Structure 1
Amino acid sequence: MDWTLFFIFLLACAGAATTGAMFQPGKWYDELRKPGFTPPNWVFPVTWTVLYICIAVAGARAAPLDTTGHAMAIFAVQIAFNTLWTPVFFGLHNTKAGLVVIGILWLSVAGTLWQFWQLDWIAGLLFVPYLVWVTIAFALNFEVWRLNRARPIAT
């Protein structure tokens, strides 16, 4: 593995992770009604740390291979929407817009997984836990929106 590429992809993931530090759940999130399958708050940073390392390794494995243009383009979309979700959901307190963002994130993660799998099955495999987690996050976002849709968007 090219360690320089790994650290570049890890830096991209760190940029996405920074939004989690900037826009923390806080009182607004604590007061929302949540489904029974909501993980405890400590699970999120632990899971995302592992996932970001997997994402960076997958990117570093796929990037130097031939014909990676589509894979890298879809990778860019997923990291952009990964970065966007936290400020929309926790920053703007907009669960409905968060649902749209995470829907696009899910599609782009699935697309990246597919493209990576075609290039390097290990890179594709490293995206499987990410897709599983985003699936759970989508379901959680949907249920939070559904359970709280009568609440006005907090500003």
Structure 2
Amino acid sequence: MKPWQSLIVFIVLVLAASLLGGLSVPDAWYAALDKPAFNPPGWVFGPAWALLYALMAFAAWRVYRISGFDVAIALWLAQLLVNALWSPLFFAMHRIDLALIDIVLLDLLVVATTVAFFRRDRIAGWLMTPYLAWIAFATALNAAIWSLNQG
């Protein structure tokens, strides 16, 4: 496969994850939830995720070009799947608790992916760090929303 073709594959994969997550969006249920003071405005999420998905695709592409399909790319695919499941759990099923479990698993997978990427290509590892920071924040946000809305 030519380099640009494999880049397109990674872009398509993140777009598919984004579209799956985008099928479940905030609704009246979400609007009625108590949220912490650090909850960002809704408009932040779209641009943030667009940038993060682009960085994730480019990082995976760099690692793929160096190592092919190996453990690092398998971890990347696993975290992408877990990422895509969060929105349906949270927004469609209204399961803040299951979404919290999902995002903690996502944190672990992204840490493992980032470490694996750093071992293969430092630039790819650095490209994953904004995503790691964002999901750490999202985990704290998910946990706070769960805590504020129990009972």
Give TM-score scaled by structure 1 length.
0.93
Q: Distance in 2 between matches of 1:132 and 1:2?
A: 29
Unaligned runs of 5+ in 2: none
Give the letter for the 1:128 counterpart: T
- What SS class does the counterpart of residue 64 from structure 1 fall into? helix
Deviations 1:89-113 (A, max 9, x none): 1110000000000001111111110
Q: Distance in 1 between matches of 2:84 and 2:67?
A: 27
Q: Distance in 1 between matches of 2:45 and 2:58?
A: 20
Aligned residues: 150
Unaligned runs of 5+ in 1: 151-155
RMSD (CA atoms): 1.3
Give TM-score scaled by structure 2 length.
0.95
Structure 1 range deviating more: 59-68 or 127-136: 59-68
Q: Distance in 2 between matches of 1:4 and 1:18?
A: 21
Q: Distance in 1 between matches of 2:15 and 2:67?
A: 26
* 2:76 corresponds to: 75
- What SS class does the counterpart of residue 40 from structure 2 fall into? coil
- What SS class does the counterpart of residue 118 from structure 1 fall into? helix
* 2:121 corresponds to: 120
- What SS class does the counterpart of residue 65 from structure 2 fall into? coil
Percent identical across equivalent pairs?
37
* 4+ runs deviating over 4 angstroms: none
Deviations 1:28-67 (A, max 9, x none): 1110000000010000011000000000000110012237
* 2:51 corresponds to: 50
